[in-house]
Structure 1
Amino acid sequence: MSYHSITRQAIELDGARLTLYSKPGLVAWDEVAAATALLAAEAPLRAGLRVLVWDSPALALFAAQRGVETHLYADNLIALEMARAMQRTHSAPTLVIHDERALPPPSADFDLALLLNPKGRAYARLVACAAYHALKNGGRLLFCGANASGAKVFAADAGEVFGKAAVTVRNKARQRLSSLIKAAHAPPPDADW
């Protein structure tokens, strides 16, 4: 496959049919499909929420199609390019794709953050901190990843950032879905995180 060729794949997330755009440089869909499907099925998406999605164009499009104000951040410009192609194909006016930065600003105005467990412990901790600062008090972080790819370690690290243990919501198909709530009284993580 040429770097310039874009592939399209019909996928289904929690009953919604989507066309996934991909090209070399992106994680293969079969590597993230189970975690993405579990997040889509369990995410409490409803109108009026501001949702942050990190590094998953398919999940961002899924949320936006439910009328949720969805903001996609990614550290991969190819993923953002493919997200724009998906947005043009599907009606998703509430999807905002951010390419000016890989992580959300510390705005504390998101109700929900959805993410696939990032690879690399130092980077995963950075993402957990960014999610903490992006969420409102009472906001929820919902994250999922393969048990064999360090899901327990990321849950422990994210729990340390949030000041409490992550709650495992569900284990399915060797994927661990976990949740954390940002407490109003919790001190922010140390700057050296």
Structure 2
Amino acid sequence: MATNLTDNVALQLLCNTAATAGGLVALISAFGPVSGAHFNPVVTIADRVFGGMPNRDVFPYIASQLLGMFVGVMVANLMFGLSAIDISTKTRSGGGIWLGEIVATLGLLLVIFGVVRSGKSSLAPFVVAGYIAAAYFFTSSTSFANPAITLGRSLSDSFAGIAPKSAPGFIIAQFVGMALALVAIRIVFPDVDEFADEILMLHEED
């Protein structure tokens, strides 16, 4: 939509940022009470590492994240007149961009665990959306910070797309960011095991 409205790249990024942030507030608010609003494999894995999720749930969560992302990108492509699968040609690579993804993912996890530890999980939709909106501009990579998102965006030759050849570098950087975040969270929030089951928001137990 952004490229249909303007040729100005800065305005296109601003449009993309606003749509992403608004969508995150709505989706986290709606699905937080059901699943904890886990839309991101690195969040799910981090939650498992700290004991907030049983092993049996990890694969179904990640499979659902990937399936949802692929279905979502196909629907979006069709809405805007593209083929359901429209492989991106947008190359995104280089040390600075990969560092941006490390920073984006590290920061996202610190923010998520921090807001939950504060006892203000009800603010998580706004805090996460605000962080991602800011990270679109303060990181060199425009903050994908999500392996499922990265794979999905490789199937859309649009402003937000990423060429398949660039995706592995982003995903590796995201997992590096996650690994660093696991260490940082343990240091900054040593009681993380006590609140990990509330990530992103307290969800229903069996």
The TM-score range, normalised by the shorter chain, is under 0.3
Normalised by the size of structure 2, how large is the TM-score?
0.24
Look at both structures and tell me which one has the larger radius of gyration over its CA atoms.
2
Higher relative contact order (CA 8 A, sep 6+): 2
Which structure carries more strand by proportion?
A: 1
Which structure carries more helix by proportion?
A: 2
